[in-house]
Amino acid sequence: MKACLAAAALLAFAAQKDAIAVAAGLASADPATRTRAACELRELGSQAAPVIPRLAAMLDDGSPVDPAVCAERTWRFRGALRQGSGQALRQDSGQAQDSTTPGEQAASALVAIGAPAQPALLKALSGPVWIARRNAAWGLGALNSSEAVPALIEALKDTDAGVREQVAWALGAIGDRRAVDGLIGALGDPASGVRRQAAWALGALGDRRAVPALMKCLKDADAGVRKQSAWALGAIGG
């Protein structure tokens, strides 16, 4: 028994050393190298916990990179969801859908680490850089972090529309009905993408309190909002 425990401890120590060695690539001047390092750290899962601060520091890195740099290890970051299909969509501003970024892959590595990464993501959600806030919102949603719901509700007021859209997705993904009132408010957001995402999230939550507001959105000026609201009403049902 002692031999087994000793062997397990040695393996864990070796994995931590591997994580620290791989993390050296996060400091590279080359965006592809930074992205590849984040992908490799994601593969280590919870064993990459010692480098959480370095991954969190890279959440604001929006350099476009070909996802092929990570081959099959690439986590195809997609934020929003199509109505009813479960197919994810990128939420970048003008960036091609066939690219990724070091920040996106850092977020995916933090999600793979799990609960120990949650404090770092919460801190980034209120940070000064919108790209980091958006990636953090995605990470908290992917972690299904109910503890993050109050902070995410507050982040529906973020100054950046892309962040607000990602936050609405995260709240729908987590599925906590504490978010209903905030998401109803987001149906009046000036950005149509936020309104669409809020409608999806309300449909995912399935709370009938959203029905009157969603009914009003059937007359929204944006066709996507109208379509998403109709889906949400169907999802809420009876």
Clarify whether residues 1 and 62 are in a common domain. yes
Q: Confirm whether 148 is domain-assigned.
A: yes
Clarify whether residues 1 and 103 are in a common domain. yes
In which region does residue 225 sit, left (phi positive, over 0), alpha (psi from -120 to 50) or beta (all else)?
A: alpha
Clarify whether residues 108 and 211 are in a common domain. no
Clarify whether residues 198 and 105 are in a common domain. no
Tokens representing residue 204 in the block = 């995912």
Q: Confirm whether 79 is domain-assigned.
A: no
Of 150, 151, 146, nearest to 133 by C-alpha is 151
Domain count, the chain: 2
Q: Confirm whether 154 is domain-assigned.
A: yes
Q: Confirm whether 92 is domain-assigned.
A: no
Q: Confirm whether 85 is domain-assigned.
A: no
Clarify whether residues 53 and 112 are in a common domain. yes
Distance from the first to the final alpha carbon of the chain: 58
Clarify whether residues 106 and 3 are in a common domain. yes
Q: How many residues does the chain have?
A: 238
Q: Round to whole Å and give the CA distance between 61 and 27.
A: 11
Clarify whether residues 113 and 175 are in a common domain. no
CB 69 within 8 A of CB 2: no
61 Cβ contact list (under 8 Å, min separation 6): 31, 34, 101, 102, 103, 106, 131
Pairing state of beta strands 88-89 and 80-81?
A: antiparallel
Sign of CA dihedral 84, 85, 88, 94: negative
**Domain residues for 47?**
1-66+99-117
- CA–CA distance from 165 to each of 2, 87, 102, 140 (Å)? 51, 16, 20, 14
Q: Confirm whether 213 is domain-assigned.
A: yes
| Residue 170 CB neighbour total at 10 angstroms | 29
Q: Confirm whether 109 is domain-assigned.
A: yes
Q: Would you write out the chain's pLDDT as a tens digit for each of its 238 residues? A: 544 443 344 344 444 557 888 888 899 999 999 999 999 999 999 999 999 999 999 999 999 999 888 875 545 554 444 334 333 333 333 344 578 999 999 999 999 999 999 999 999 999 999 999 999 999 999 999 999 999 999 999 999 999 999 999 999 999 999 999 999 999 999 999 999 999 999 999 999 999 999 999 999 999 999 999 999 999 998 5
